[in-house]
Amino acid sequence: MSFHWRSDAADGAARAGTLHTAHGPVQTPVFMPVGTAGTVKAMTADAVRATGAGIVLGNTYHLMLRPGAERVARLGGLHKFMDWPGPILTDSGGFQVMSLGALRTLDEGGVTFRSHLDGSKHRLTPERAVEIQDQLDATITMVLDECTPFPATYDQAERSMAMSMRWAARCRTAFRDRDGYALFGIVQGSVFPDLRARSAEALRDIGFEGYAIGGLAVGEGQAAMFDVLAATLPHLPEERPRYLMGVGTPDDLVGAVLRGVDMFDCVMPTRAGRTGRAFTSRGVLNMRNARHVDDAGPIDPDCSCPACARHSRAYVHHLFKASEMLGPMLLTWHNLTYYQSLMRGLRLAIVEGRIEGHARAVRARWVEVEAAPEE
């Protein structure tokens, strides 16, 4: 079975579809929980499945450093290693090298860096990045690219984008074709529309099973991000999945789906869960706030996760004040459940041809909470 994306419905630019992969189907639009080091933080694999997630993300940079891609391969691959038989997308590590790797040296061949863990020296090339993801048995492999820093001048962004396109061609050559597996290209070009268009056209000429929009959510702001999507998406093949990397807030997801994006990942719901912030159908709550100390109600009355079905806001508040590890576990479970529910609602609205009204209704409920901010 070849990897492919099938369109199930469209409403304006918004798309509902199904990814067919070697490790099972995935309905889109989809949010992928981030399992950077082979685990979604504070969650068991069963708990992640219970949120409704059908695909997760791993990371080349972190897994190559610890426990090592060769070790994961000897132990049966990442699916077996982390108890996730479904699809896994692995980021190539380009962003982490930029943000975490010390003493980074970039050249045409690749990037040399020192580990943020122990200072050991490593070399990552396009070919090696693809090889590592093959050893991990990633369902979807990402090309190695340079995540252009923001802000960047036009000339800086152009040079960075051009090198990423040359690296993408090398990744395509290095990739081992297998039924149901895919290699995604990554569009770069910072906030410059013509560079984004050139990057997208270059990737189309190379040919990939899917196309990602990278280099965003790095400080440019939502309006600029949406402008980049407007400049990029028309240049991507309609019959291939579109993945917006590292994004974002619920409002980011709604806006990007309306513009035609199919796939997302972000650490936001899990990181927020560990720090006491709850995403809900009525807005964002800070569960550390004293207003919850006597509240017997659920975090979100529209949610059926264990935190909402079995516990009160007062209990979750207590867990965080007492520094009990169950607090971050329950709130992470809740946040991921909310994100999956949000995506299911968007998909259903697309299928039923009411996405614009649905998006307005979702956002209107958030406004109600924002009008009464946390104390």
CA–CA distance, 44 with 333 (Å, rounded to integer)? 10
CA–CA distance, 356 with 12 (Å, rounded to integer)? 9
Beta strands per DSSP E along 125-176: 140-142
Closest alpha carbon to 47 in 259, 374, 330: 330
Q: Is 101 helix (H, G, I), strand (E, B) or coil?
A: coil
Q: Are 135 and 73 in contact (CB under 8 A)?
A: yes
CA–CA distance, 267 with 211 (Å, rounded to integer)? 20
Report which secondary-structure segment, H or E, holds 95: helix 94-99
CA–CA distance, 147 with 187 (Å, rounded to integer)? 10
As a whole number of Å, the end-to-end CA separation of the chain is 54
Active site residues: 91, 265
Beta bridge partners, 9, equal 16
CA–CA distance, 342 with 349 (Å, rounded to integer)? 11
CA–CA distance, 292 with 375 (Å, rounded to integer)? 10
